Amino acid sequence: MFKDFTFLLKSSNYNKRLFFVTKNNFFSTQHFHYSAHKMSNSVDISNFLSTIAPPLDGSLYKGQSGRIGVLGGSKDYTGAPYYAGMAALRTGAELLYLFTADEAAIPIKSYSPELMVTPVYGQNYGLDNNQQSMVQAVTSLFPRLHSLVIGPGLGRDANVLSGVAQIIQKAKEQNLPIVIDADGMWLVTMQPDIVQGYKNAILTPNKIEYERLKEKVLGNNNNNVNNEKEELKQLCISLGNITIVKKGKEDLISNGINTFVCDQLGTPRRCGGLGDILSGTIGTIQGWINMKGIDKKVLNYNKDDLQLLACLSSCYLVRTTSFKAFEKHKRSMTAPDVLNLIGDTFEQICPTTISKM
């Protein structure tokens, strides 16, 4: 029975969650008593996080624990990029560069001094020179970034999205990891080719965004697919085996080769901002992987699974944190309640070892 188990996901309580692989390369979770079932060939997610998280030994300087970018925000949506940025920092990144709209910059600056906020687009960015100014402002900082989150609160202005498409292309040229969420998914749905085959891209659609993308990419070709996991796999393959996190009651994560499901208990309350928090969390963990590189001798993991493991651990972290926030606040729970607990949850999953300087 136990020979199929390959992934062990440690939680903070005594009951542990085991990830196993079947002959169809589908990963699922079940509850097992950890002390009774330690497998030598299992991959411990706690160990995965401790392996990729930068050491706290006093040897690093500011920014070496992760420099993450967030591109998003608009006149009507200032909270989303803030949540993504703060989630990245609370997960463990050190510097957060937030590229946003002129109209959103001052409100976001007032939310927190931790975010380095730069206005790079706005309502008057219809002219080509303004659009190029936007692209230049963001891409000039690419050498500093370990990953870039695109889409939270971005809005759907055609001129701004055109600039974002150019930024994605530049990210691909420099092999910069990107997480695309929210209105960034709207752009990808309109132009799937901009992420086609880019293995350093992670898409995080909700149910509606996923349905739009599926219809655009697969059309009628998925009529005979009744299994949602096989459908997701087919979509990933059609996009060149990029990684997709289909958010929902269970989070399905696939690259078309392997498929994970995270069914860790989360919150029954669907307040705004939780998807933004997830995107920021993935951005940090994806950035840490980028910092480490994909040398198997460094990470000791299959390089094809690194994106999946980043998403899996992020989903588990956010779901667990959301449940804790709901336990405390119930119907009054909001996104800041989750932000405030991310650090504690991460510490329980992956305790910090402080090395002597």
What is the reported pTM?
0.87
Q: Is the pLDDT of residue 161 over 70?
A: yes
Which pLDDT score, from 0 to 100, does residue 222 have?
66
Which pLDDT score, from 0 to 100, does residue 353 have?
74
Which pLDDT score, from 0 to 100, does residue 32 have?
28
Q: Is the pLDDT of residue 233 over 90?
A: yes
Q: Which of 1-5, 206-210, 260-264 has the largest mean confidence? A: 206-210
Q: Is the pLDDT of residue 336 over 60?
A: yes
On average, the pLDDT of the chain sits at 85
Dihedral pair phi/psi, residue 195, rounded to 5°:
-115, 0
Q: Is the pLDDT of residue 14 over 80?
A: no
Which pLDDT score, from 0 to 100, does residue 33 have?
27
Which pLDDT score, from 0 to 100, does residue 64 have?
83
Tokens of 209: 């965004």
Q: Is the pLDDT of residue 16 over 70?
A: no
Least confident of 152-161, 186-195, 201-210, 214-223: 214-223
Question: How much of the chain exceeds pLDDT 70, in percent?
Answer: 82
Q: pLDDT, tens digit, for every residue of 123-157?
A: 666 556 678 899 999 999 999 999 999 999 999 99
Q: pLDDT, tens digit, for every residue of 276-333?
A: 999 999 999 999 999 987 554 566 778 888 999 999 999 999 999 999 999 999 999 9
Higher pLDDT, 290 or 8: 290
Which pLDDT score, from 0 to 100, does residue 199 have?
95
Higher pLDDT, 223 or 160: 160
Q: pLDDT, tens digit, for every residue of 92-126?
A: 999 999 999 999 999 999 999 999 999 999 866 65
Q: Is the pLDDT of residue 237 over 50?
A: yes
Q: pLDDT, tens digit, for every residue of 41-53?
A: 334 778 889 889 9
Average pLDDT of the segment spanning 226-237: 93
Q: pLDDT, tens digit, for every residue of 339-357?
A: 999 999 999 999 987 665 5
